[in-house]
Amino acid sequence: MNNINRRSVSLLLIVFVSILFLGGCATKVTRMDVDEEKDLSGAWNDTDSRLVSEEMIDDMLQRPWVNEHQMANGQRPTVIVGEVRNLSHEHININTFIADIERAMINSGRIDFVASSLDRQEIREERKDQDLHAREDTRKAMGQELGADFMLKGQINTIIDQASKDQVRYYQVDLTLISMRDNRKVWLGQKKIKKFVKRSKLRY
């Protein structure tokens, strides 16, 4: 075999190996059902956020304060979500967790729910704009907002216990429902999650 043929064969082999290598390194994306549970790292994820919010709000709405308020006032209680603090060691998207809490409360049909302070500010600006630019029969008057009877506040904490490649992640979510009238705590909720993460000793 002459030099030209050898070079051609070598070049073909290089191209073939390169194709195999690139094919093996190609990114593969598989669509998942949004409710499918997939825990890759052991960190707080969308499943934790959804399950914790649903379980805690379900417990909150089963407690006596709901019926007590209805009997005393003749109407459903109105709730607003205040600050939920992330005191854990990791980044947790608090806005997503709050959205899950809000959805669980609204979908329950047992309480009324009012917008946060940030949302209210935007709505108030729109009302001011309507006073100047909207037809009189379509304007929404100021001073007609529904005041909250209770505020829901909370925090997320973690404890990490690690030995070598093994790790136990402990999450504790505490929520408190406080009466706006007299600062009484009418409900205390707590949800705990514990995960055992065993990592491979092989490095890739």
Is residue 138 one of the residues assigned to a domain? no
Residue 192 — pLDDT band, cuts 50, 70, 90? very high
Q: Which residue has the tokens 């990592």?
A: 199
Domain residues for the domain of 151 are 41-116+146-198
* Residue of 145, 112, 140 whose CA lies nearest to 127: 140
Q: Please give the pLDDT value at position 203.
A: 45
Supply the CATH number for residue 67's domain. 3.40.50
Going by DSSP bridges, is the β-strand pair 78-86/150-163 parallel, antiparallel, or unpaired?
parallel
Q: What average pLDDT does the segment 34-38 reach?
A: 59
Q: What percent of the chain stands above pLDDT 90?
A: 52
Q: What average pLDDT does the segment 129-152 reach?
A: 92
DSSP string, 174-196: EEEEEETTT--EEEEEEEEEEEE
Is residue 157 one of the residues assigned to a domain? yes
Q: Could you tell me the CA-to-CA distances from 187 to 68, 76, 82, 83, 101 in Å, in that order?
A: 12, 16, 15, 16, 15
Q: How many domains does the chain have?
A: 1
- Rounded to an integer, what distance in angstroms lies between the CA atom of residue 57 and that of residue 35? 19
pLDDT digit string (tens) for 89-120?
Answer: 888 889 999 999 999 999 999 999 898 888 88
- Rounded to an integer, what distance in angstroms lies between the CA atom of residue 204 and that of residue 194? 28
Is residue 14 one of the residues assigned to a domain? no
